[in-house]
Structure 1
Amino acid sequence: MIQFNLQRFIKLARWTLTVDKKYHIKSFFQNLVIFTLVFVFFTSITFTVSQQAANYLPCSITAIVAFAVTFVLGSSFMFYSMSGKHDMQRLLMLPASNLEKYLMRYASWIILLPIQLAAFFAADLIQYVFGLAVGHEQVKLVTSAVIEFCQSDMPLSYRMNFVWLFVWLHSLYAVGATFFRFRKNNWIATSLVVIVVGMLLSAIAGHWQNVNMFWWNNHDYFNQLFLILVVVNFRLSYRFFCRAQVIGKFVNA
């Protein structure tokens, strides 16, 4: 029987935030350094060396790709912040249901998005100030370049298709995070599986081009199909998590 208690879940959330504090701080500074180096290089250093207009397009593409990768792979980071077997054993022994533990560990990766967003804005401000300091005549915020890049002419229905595709891939990495027994490099194994399956499906789909165009152009069917697949994947991920909980309690008994 699935059990969920809000007060118990809040206590579990507080414990998780305490355990993950160092990991979140580390993630912020990693993103800050990467964004700052990329932004400063393309907006100021390139201008200083070659006297060419700063190219904000690579900066906006880097930011968008970084957020997309974080979202797609995010579910595979459910257990990254847990340092070793000690934290795993503590997770097993916490007075909470499997559903509460799973939801909390899954929710732990979501915090990475605002952390990455904060690092992005901080790096954007740094490159702006640096650009003014070196005499950049066309300095502007990368945020405005990202907004301009996202204002494409692609129809909303096709954008939603891509969103559902990313959500489906995200759910696959959620399966991999629990199937591969919480290994920190589970995203690598999951990526290999996704690539192999994708190659097989592409080979098969090559003989069914009319069917492919039907699914891609009929957006309601496309979205419904991926919604079903996402639900199935998260259900599998939760079942694998419960299985690992049972095995872990048996081994540590």
Structure 2
Amino acid sequence: MEKFNINRFGQVFMRLLMVRKKTYTTFFLATTILFTLATVLSCNPFRLESFTAGEMSSMLVSGTAFCIGLMIAVQGICASFIVSDLKTKQDKIQELMLPATNLEKFVARLLGSTLFVLLIMFIAFALSDVLQQLLNMLIHKGSRASMLVSLFSDLDMFSNLPQDAKSAVWVYLLGAVSSFSVFALGGMLFRKVAWLKTSIAVFLIIVIGLSLFVGFAYVVYTQTPYVVALPRHWPFWANVLGSLAVSVPCLWLSYRLYCRLQAVNNRWINI
């Protein structure tokens, strides 16, 4: 059982989905309702008159932006829930007794807390798009517009974007991977309210890092004949290396902490 077995991994992953079924269902319903309300309210439901398709699309921009912003926010912190369901001693014992390797169980939990959550939010977004069209047709005398159609039309324009814009999309994806790894580590370290504690820790690290850099730049500027200059545009390879420098250590530490998971928490401080 030392090798990664895809069949065993699939069984572990399906078990995890069954264990978290209630949580996933509640999250899906809440997200669908929230997305639907946001998009319906953005179309001025108190004006009981018809609009053109262009006007409806323009009004849906704010609701769509809210939905996408919420998805980005959840994407940033969802990995912190990697072991959120292991609350009791019995839950941990059942996890430790699973007939699978630690790597298989860890990867299943990482995917269940990141990509599967994003999939749920996308399905909720698609369903809310259908619901908002039905509600807006009732409110605005048959007027409707689709958020998904607008987004897919924007994606069709992606191939015609300049190279800088395409690079920005890849930089965002690399940032998402780094965010997953950082919050996965936070979820393994803090356990309780991990997303908030990890967010505070990341904020403090960034503030301290920027303060040290500003202090270093001030010393160089005042005490030496040199100046500190930062490039306006980082090359793509530098972004890749930066993402790897953050992601690989965080994921490795998260995995090592998962391997040391115990039924009884006997650490000197329970954070």
Q: Look up the SS of the partner of 1:195 in the other structure.
A: helix
Deviation at 1:161, TM superposition (A): 2.0
1:1-253 → structure 2 map (5 Å cutoff): 3-45=3-45, 47-48=47-48, 54=56, 55-82=59-86, 84-109=88-113, 110-135=115-140, 139-147=144-152, 155-180=165-190, 182-183=191-192, 185-206=193-214, 207=217, 210-211=229-230, 213=231, 216-243=233-260, 245=261, 247-248=262-263
Question: Counterpart amino acid of 1:135?
Answer: H
Shift of 1:60: 1.7
Q: Secondary structure at the match of 2:45?
A: helix
Taking a change above 3 Å as real, the CA distance of residues 209 and 22 of structure 1, as seen in their structure-2 partners, is farther
Give 1:78 deviation, angstroms.
1.7
Contact 2:182/2:250 (8 A) holds in 1:
yes
Task: Give unmatched runs, 5+ long, in structure 2.
Answer: 218-226, 267-271
The AA in structure 2 aligned to 1:178 is M
Q: Give the alignment's Cα RMSD to 1 decimal.
A: 2.9
User: Per-residue deviation at 1:168?
Assistant: 1.2
- Calculate the TM-score normalised by the size of structure 1: 0.83
Aligned-pair CA distance for 1:190:
0.3
Query: What is the TM-score of this pair, normalised by structure 2?
Result: 0.78
Judge conservation of contact 2:83–2:188 (CA < 8 Å) in 1: no
| Structure 2 residue identity aligned to 1:239 | R
Contact 2:47 2:140 in 1 (8 A): no
The offset of 1:30, in angstroms, is 1.0
Which one has a bigger Cα radius of gyration? 2
What's the offset of the Cα at 1:91?
Answer: 0.6
Question: Can you give the 5+ residue segments of structure 1 that lack an aligned partner in the other structure?
Answer: none
Runs of 4+ off more than 6 Å: none
Query: The residue matched to 1:139 in structure 2 has which SS?
Result: coil
Q: Distance in 1 between matches of 2:153 and 2:48?
A: 25
Task: Call closer, same or farther: CA 1:25–1:131 in 2, change over 3 Å.
Answer: same
| Shift, 1:204, TM fit | 3.8
Work out whether residues 76 and 174 of structure 1, in 8 Å CA contact, stay in contact via their aligned partners in 2.
Answer: yes
Report the residue type matching 2:249 in the other structure: V
Hey, which of these two has a bigger chunk of helix by percent?
1
1:191-249 CA distance string (max 9 Å, x none): 000111111223344438623x26x4222122222223211111111111112x2x437
Aligned residues: 244
Return the alpha-carbon distance in structure 2 between the equivalents of residues 56 and 120 of structure 1: 13
Query: C-alpha separation between the residues in 2 aligned to 1:232 and 1:46?
Result: 52
> Given that residues 73 and 187 in structure 1 are in contact (C-alpha distance below 8 angstroms), is that contact kept between their aligned partners in structure 2?
yes
Give a deviation string over 1:21-47, Cα, whole Å, max 9, x none: 212211110111111110111124254
Shift of 1:88: 2.4
Question: What is the Cα deviation at residue 135 of structure 1?
Answer: 2.2
String of CA shifts for 1:45-72, please: whole Å, max 9, x gaps. 25449x9x55212112112212212322
Instruction: Give the % identical residues.
Output: 22
Quote the Cα distance in structure 2 between the aligned partners of 1:227 and 1:144.
35
Give SS of 1:4's match: coil
Distance 2:154 2:203 in 1: 28
Report how far residue 137 of structure 1 moved: 6.8
Which one-letter code corresponds to 1:157 in the other structure? S
Q: Rate the CA distance shift 1:14–1:138 in 2: closer, same or farther, 3 A.
A: closer
